[in-house]
Amino acid sequence: MARNKEFDEKAVLKKAMELFWKQGYEKTSMQDLVNHMGIHRRSIYDTFGDKYSLFLASLKSYEVFVAEELTKIISNSSTLKIAIRNIFEYVVNLAELEIYPAGCFAVNTAVELSLLDKDIQHLTTKMFNDTEELFNKLLKEGQNKGELKNDLNTQVTAQFLHNNLIGLRVLVKTKYTKKDLESIIDLILKVLE
Amino acid sequence: MARNKEFDEKAVLKKAMELFWKQGYEKTSMQDLVNHMGIHRRSIYDTFGDKYSLFLASLKSYEVFVAEELTKIISNSSTLKIAIRNIFEYVVNLAELEIYPAGCFAVNTAVELSLLDKDIQHLTTKMFNDTEELFNKLLKEGQNKGELKNDLNTQVTAQFLHNNLIGLRVLVKTKYTKKDLESIIDLILKVLE
DNA sequence: TCCATTCTAGAATGCTCGTTCTAAAAAAGA
DNA sequence: TCTTTTTTAGAACGAGCATTCTAGAATGGA
């Protein structure tokens, strides 16, 4: 038999994801990816196909990454209201930590490509719907536990929360201060009172 | 003396703006611009400098364009509350009309370039601040005329409204329906009640 | 040891990019 | 008519792009 793969496919894909997340599709060259992923150009093509396929794979790996992060946040929150607040805080804090790029890969992609590429538009819409569905689930759970009023329309409220989350994920790329963003969060969450 | 310029500088700049607005910086080639602006490559370089300078000029012309549009909307609104609603409706309706590209050139630029280019980051932040300032002015005027409660923090509310406007300007690029966006607008504007 | 496979390095290919160039036609006043 | 400038067309340039290729070294069973 033959030699085994030496690199961890998941790990190098995450490297690609980080670069696309930070720079977008067009600004990221294959040379950038070769440098950053740490494997040979040939290995990239053999494993992931062309640049576009690698981008799609990166976006899907981001989807998983975010879902894991959100699950952690929620399970570390004592109430559902706090869980929702922590999701918003996470977006603002992540931009400050600089471990990952500021902003959201899905939002970036929706803005950069979804008018020009229907497949991408479909994928980003799905990711947005999923985030909304998560909010919806949290809100319903909050109602069941008596934390939230029952006359709250959970679906519209979920869309509203998500809309604000998108806004914040754009604003963190500008020179807005954390203090500004915090007071916006406070006002957003008034809808839950 | 010499021959006069034959093209209208403002008009061809608007053509460039539309293309950058729709496609972003990286996806728009000089050849695209030559085709769409209808003047010779050489004339573009002579008049606007290089691609980056043309992009900045386009972004600034967008700034003026939006300011004019908003002024029209506001002056056609009977109350300040309606004015604010009409601004939100405008963003959603513009995406449907397809006269101009869906989304917002400033938001697109902030997302595409502001992490990588400090000048752009500065310019987009300024444009965002201006929009907020407009909301702030409208809210204060609303308070003076007794349309809005005086205990409303106009600055934070302006930031909140703007945050939602950004969110909508991302969502209009996806497959969200107008109906979805309308119900989000309703919920956003509850903050004014 | 041999063979199949995956890795590496880096050159080659063909295309498109932004930018500049040559050259000539058009316009407008001197 | 002559001069000056702006226009046009389209070639040319050098760089960078995504992708493929040649060539050989490394690995791990058969």
Euclidean distance between CA atoms A161 and A167, whole angstroms: 10
CA distances from A62 to A174, B87, B138 (A): 22, 33, 40
Asked whether residue B180 is assigned to any structural domain, the reply reads yes
Asked whether residue B122 is assigned to any structural domain, the reply reads yes
Same domain, A40 and A102: no
Asked whether residue A119 is assigned to any structural domain, the reply reads yes
Instruction: State the CATH number of the domain containing residue A115.
Output: 1.10.357.10
Predicted confidence at residue A182, as pLDDT, reads 96
Same domain, A101 and A161: yes
Answer whether B107 touches A (CB < 8 Å): yes
- DSSP letter string, B152-169: S-HHHHHHHHHHHHHHHH
A3 has a pLDDT exceeding 80: no
What band does A180 get if pLDDT is binned at 50, 70 and 90? very high
Euclidean distance between CA atoms A165 and B117, whole angstroms: 24
The identity of residue A129, as a single letter, is N
Q: Average pLDDT, stretch A98-118?
A: 95
Asked whether residue A72 is assigned to any structural domain, the reply reads no
Q: Which residue is associated with the tokens 């894909």?
A: A13
Nearest to A116 among B27, B165, B175 (CB): B27
Residues on chain A touching B123 (C-beta within 8 angstroms)? none
The identity of residue A176, as a single letter, is Y
A6 has a pLDDT exceeding 90: no
Same domain, A155 and A186: yes
A65 has a pLDDT exceeding 90: yes
Name the residue with the least CA to C1' distance from nucleotide D26: A3
Domain membership of residue B109 as a residue range: 59-192
A1 has a pLDDT exceeding 60: no
Asked whether residue B185 is assigned to any structural domain, the reply reads yes
Same domain, A92 and A178: yes
Same domain, A81 and A23: no
Burial class for A51, CB neighbours closer than 10 Å (0-12, 13-18, 19+):
middle
Euclidean distance between CA atoms B28 and B47, whole angstroms: 18
Asked whether residue A71 is assigned to any structural domain, the reply reads no
**Spatial CA neighbour of A135 closest among A107, A164, A110:** A164
In this structure, the protein residues whose CB atom falls closer than 7 angstroms to any atom of nucleic acid strand D are A 1-4, 28-32, 41-42, 45, 50-52; B 1-7, 38-43, 46-47
Residues on chain A touching B149 (C-beta within 8 angstroms)? none
Same domain, A130 and A184: yes
Predicted confidence at residue B1, as pLDDT, reads 47
Euclidean distance between CA atoms B5 and B61, whole angstroms: 20
Asked whether residue A144 is assigned to any structural domain, the reply reads yes
Predicted confidence at residue B111, as pLDDT, reads 97
**Spatial CA neighbour of A24 closest among B175, B156, B23:** B23
Same domain, A178 and A135: yes
Cβ of B165 within 8 Å of Cβ of A166? The answer is no
Asked whether residue A135 is assigned to any structural domain, the reply reads yes
Say what the pTM is: 0.94
Packed helices A105-113 and A118-144: angle between N→C axes, nearest 10 degrees? 140
In percent, how much of chain A has pLDDT > 70?
Answer: 97
Nearest-neighbour CA in chain A from B169: distance (Å) = 9
Q: Give the pLDDT of chain B (193 residues) as one tens digit per residue.
A: 455 666 788 999 999 999 999 999 999 999 999 999 999 999 999 999 999 999 999 999 999 999 999 999 999 999 999 999 999 999 999 988 889 999 999 999 999 999 999 999 999 999 999 999 999 999 999 999 999 999 999 999 999 999 999 999 999 999 899 999 999 999 999 999 8
CA distances from A53 to A36, A119, B24, B76 (A): 17, 12, 21, 48
pLDDT digits (tens, 9 = 90+) for A121-177: 999 999 999 999 999 999 999 999 999 999 999 999 999 999 999 999 999 999 889
**Spatial CA neighbour of A132 closest among A105, A157, A151:** A157
Q: What is the SS3 assignment for B79?
A: coil
Q: What domain count does chain A have?
A: 2
Residue A173 is classified by DSSP as: T
What band does A2 get if pLDDT is binned at 50, 70 and 90? low
Contact B168, B88 (CB under 8 A): yes
